[in-house]
Each structure stands twice: as structure tokens, then as C-alpha cells.
Amino acid sequence: MDRSERAFLEVESSVSEQRWVERATRQQLGHAESMTEIDRLDPLVARILAGRGVVPEAASSFLQPTLRELMPDPSNLTQMDAAASRLADAIEAHERVAIFGDYDVDGATSAALLWKFFQHCGVESEIYIPDRIFEGYGPNIPAIDQLIDRGAGLLVTVDCGSTSHEAIARARERDVDVVVLDHHQVADTLPDAVALVNPNRDDDMSGQGHLCAAGVVFLTLVALNRELRNRGYYQGDRQAPDLMAWLDLVALGTVCDVVPLTGLNRAFVLRGIDVMHRQQNIGLVALSKVARQDGPAAPWHLGFLLGPRINAGGRIGDAALGARLLTCEDGPEAEQIAEKLDQLNAERQAMEAAMMKQAIDEAEAEIGLSDGPAVLVTESETWHAGVVGLLASRLKDRFRRPAFAIAFDHRGIGAGSGRSIAGIDLGASVRAALDDGLLEKGGGHAMAAGITIKRDRLGEFRSFLDNRLAQMVSERSANQNLKIDGALSARGANAQFFDVVEKAGPYGAGHSQPVFAFPNHTLSHASVVGANHVRFTLRSPDGASINGIGFRISDAPLGKALLSSIGQKMHFAGTLSSDFYQGRRRIQLRILDAAPVPDRIQP
């Protein structure tokens, strides 16, 4: 571990066994000064930007990204022109189009975007979302046959399809073209689609690999609009759709798929949230109500309130509910769908809590043996396959190492999801395991992957991951640092301060939310609320107080430390959030860590 820099507040090992360090380097602090002097930025905003690698000459464009400046020519993406041409053919010929999407938020928003375009052009289209349990991810032959039998003349896959060789071959056998719009990592060979647009293709030089599927679909619609205009399609009363009015869907997909909030993605989210404030999408308005969204839409609402409810349909209910909601144009129907998704989300939360206890017990038993494996692989025959991704994510956060959770059925076939830590490419490892014959199916990203595995290969898979990743995981585990953006007091954490911090947002993957330390504060209250959350109150030395929340930590070291330290002075660290309660705005601390105050510096 690099200890050349002094630990922030001298915290060498916190309650969560992390060393606190200042985020900004000396060079970055110099950049912050330049931004303050030259760009006249607020010093705090400048410090936040500099600590995330923004250089002075890019500060202004970073804070005010515009689609006009950041939008690439869609033709830069490999086979985009072929895709736009085939989609334009379908519109001109009024072909029936089948849209095959994934069962997550990115899939639902991508499908909804494409559906809205076809509807605007008067073309009949059908959205098909597969059942996670019975069909699995991506196109499958029975579904392809079913869609073609219902009259589909063109099949468009969104957020899937890049590895669907057999299903796409089946469509071609039946003389139906397939256009793939995707962003997932691909294999060496690609399926025989009439066009496969994926910025993560090996032969794509567009530099847009950070886009989610909704972003790829939006670029496709820009290209399609241009193609139709060049063909003279928009004449008389026939007008081009206002693509900017659908950026709320692009923002939702971008935030929920946890792609980097930099460059074009950042512009998508900022402009998309502006669109969301207009409340034009009936389905999103209904979902915001049932989710009890407080105040105007913000990235946090998209990722933690709206997204999980849309995902709940794909996890444990009707996978098509999310796409139906986002394309719904009837108020009462939208309210019914939103209520159903809210109910499914509550059921998912209860199911997850029961599964999580079992997964933690299994993981702790493994880790108790010489610090355990580099990659946690937990499994059960009683788990719901739709929730294993959430389990893997929770295990990864709790034990700070890559983790898999696998739900086996009565045949011994397991459906699993994995989540990784920074610097460990889990998707590459899964593809290597697939090549070695350890998996039936597998793929994903650096940070997330999905697998299908037979029970009798589970031991080999565990050994494969440990042999491949042990050294890399060990190196990263040896440097468990919590990066702190600055020190703050309960009195200083007010609405005015929060608004200044938000000027450097929106925050998310690739542009992390600022973390502030609260030195030498007294923990005046702590209690368990809801599903293993801990609610607490801190009091600063001058008597001011701030309320806080720790999500799903009551049985974790941090939660146990809070519950057993009431009345004590400690250092605390976390992020700030804003909500509205009974019409009043409140600032709240979302705790990430805590540390004892050394006796020699306590007053």
C-alpha cells in the first residue's frame, strides 16, 4: 500500500478497514486553483472537478456539455449506414417490425425509443421482451419463429443480439432481416445480421464504446432521421419526430446501466433530466408518483427509485411491463402498470433480503478460511434467478472482491450473475471460461457478467476464477482507500452548500459523487429502520446536527459500529443528498465509513 501521502484525518484503518486519503493530488489542486482564477469557478466546484481528472481547459465544456458539440456523426459507427437504410426501407414499405429487447432498464428504454419512432411514422411494431427464467437473455429460436409467424418482416434487437448466432440464423433462414443495436462486448465472430451496430465491435473506431444501448439507439434514430430526410420522406404534413423530446428515456437507460457519466453520456443525462422535468412521458410520471419521488427528477431518482421498479418486472414478474409503461399513452393504464411494478419491487426487496442472509453466511464461511477465495461464488437451489445480480452486487460491496451468485434449478442448471471491482475485467474472465468449456453460456462487461453453468462444473469454475484473478484481486485489496474530497461540519452541510456541490454534477459511474468527512462529530442517535438500514444523527462540536442513513448495513461492521457507539465522538464519511419532507427541503448524509477519533486529538 502506498503510504507516501499522509492519511486524511490520520485514519489509517477505519471501521470498514479502509485508509482515508485526499482525492485530489497536488497537481490536481493546482488545476483547481487555475479553474478558480481563470474560469471563476467556485473553489469547491473546481476542487471536485480537478479531483476527478478534469483539466482547466476542459472545465467549461464539462460543466455545460452540449449535444451539438459532443454528438458524433452516427455514420462513424460501423454498419450504422446499413442499419439506417434497412430501417428506412421498413418505414417506407410499412413492414411490420418486431423489436426484441433485454429485460432490464436499458433494454426497456431502447425498445421504447425505437417503438416511438415507428409509431410516429405510422409503422406497426411489436416489442418482445423475453422471460428471464424461461427464455434467458437475448433472442431465441422459438421467440423468433413466433414473431415471424405474427407477420414481422424485420427484426431489430436492442441491448442484445451481438452473440445470438443461432437465433439470427433462424430469422435469415425464414427470409427475415435482422438489425442488431447493442453495446455489449462481442466475440471474435459476429452473427449474420444485415447490420450489427455496436461501438464495442473490434472493427468499430467511433470511440463511443461508453454508450449504453439506449445511447446507441438514439444515434441510430438520428441516422435514420437523416436517411429518411435524404429520401424525401418528410414532405407535406409528414414531419420528422422531435428526438430531443425522448431524451428522458436515454437518460434513464444511461444512469441505470451504470455507464460512465462523461462526454456524450453526461450530455444525455443533463438534457434528459430537463425533458423529464416537463413530465411528458405518462408512464414515467405514473412511476414517479408510486415511487414517492420527492422533488424534481435527479440522477439519484433515476438510479434508485425508477430504475429498480422497472427492473422488478424483468426480475420476478412480467418482463414486458417496463417497456409497456414507457410507451403507454393512457393515464389510467399507466397508473395500473406503475402500481404493479411498485408491488413487484416490494416483493423483490423481501425476496432479496432472505436470499442475502443465506449468501452472506455462505460467503463468510468461505472467507473465514485463510481470507477465502479471490472471487466469491455463492449458489443455492432456492434462489430466484431474477435476483442473483442484486446478490452479487451486494456481496461485491460487502466483501470488496468480485462475486457471483448462482440460482440452480432442479436439473442442476445454474443461472448466475457476477459483479466486479475496479480494475478486474470480469467479462473477459467469463468469456475465457466459456472458451474453456466450463460454462454453457456467458458474457458481459468488465464490471458485470452473466453465466449459465452446470452444477458439475461449479468447482472447476471456482478454481478457474481463483487461478486467473487471485493476484490482481490481492493487489487491489491491499490498497483499500476511501477518497475524501474535503472536510465538512454538520452546520456547513446545508442546502446552499449542497447546491454548490451539485453544480459539478450529475454524478455517477466515471464521475463519482463527492465524499466528505465529518471530523470529531458525536453520534447522538442510531437505530435500525426498514430492510437493515441504519438511521442516525450526528452533532458537530458547535451543536449543529445532521441526519444520516446507511443502506443495508445493520449487520455489517459499519452498521454495528454505529449502533454500538451512541454518544461517542467519531470521524464520519459519506455523500450528501437532498430530499423534501412535508414540503421542506432536507440535507442528509449517506454514510460510507466511520473511524474512531485518536485519543490524543480528542478535545
Task: List pLDDT tens digits, range 224-271.
Answer: 999 999 999 999 889 999 999 999 999 999 999 989 998 999 999 999
Query: Which grid coordinates are listed for 486?
Result: 474535503
Q: Is the pLDDT of residue 516 over 90?
A: yes
Strands 533-539 and 516-529: antiparallel
Chain CA centroid to CA 322, Å = 16
- Whose CA is closest to 359, among 351, 371, 369? 351
Interaxial angle between packed helices 247-256 and 105-120, expressed in degrees from 0 to 180 and rounded to the nearest 10: 160
- Whose CA is closest to 204, among 115, 119, 78? 78
| pLDDT value, residue 494 | 94
| pLDDT value, residue 210 | 94
293 close to 305: Cβ distance less than 8 angstroms: yes
- DSSP letter for each residue of 157-195: EES--TT-HHHHHHHHHTT-EEEEE--S---SS----SE
The pLDDT tens digits of the residues spanning 557-571 come to 999 999 999 999 999
Query: Considering just the CA atoms, what is the radius of gyration of the chain in Å?
Result: 25
Confidence of residue 510 (pLDDT cuts 50, 70, 90): confident
Strands 195-197 and 403-408: unpaired
Q: Is the pLDDT of residue 580 over 60?
A: yes
| pLDDT value, residue 182 | 97
Please state the rounded mean pLDDT for residues 437-463: 92
The pLDDT tens digits of the residues spanning 24-47 come to 999 999 999 999 998 889 999 999
Please state the rounded mean pLDDT for residues 203-231: 97
Separation CA 549–CA 531 (nearest Å) = 12
Confidence of residue 300 (pLDDT cuts 50, 70, 90): confident
Query: Which grid coordinates are listed for 333?
Result: 393504464
Residue-averaged pLDDT of the chain: 93
Contacts of 230 (CB under 8 A, 6+ apart): none
Query: Which grid coordinates are listed for 222?
Result: 438520428
| pLDDT value, residue 456 | 96
The pLDDT tens digits of the residues spanning 94-149 come to 999 999 999 999 999 999 999 999 999 999 999 999 998 888 888 999 999 999 99
Would you call 239 exposed, middle or buried from its count of C-beta atoms within 10 A (0-12, 13-18, 19+)? exposed
Please state the rounded mean pLDDT for residues 483-509: 93
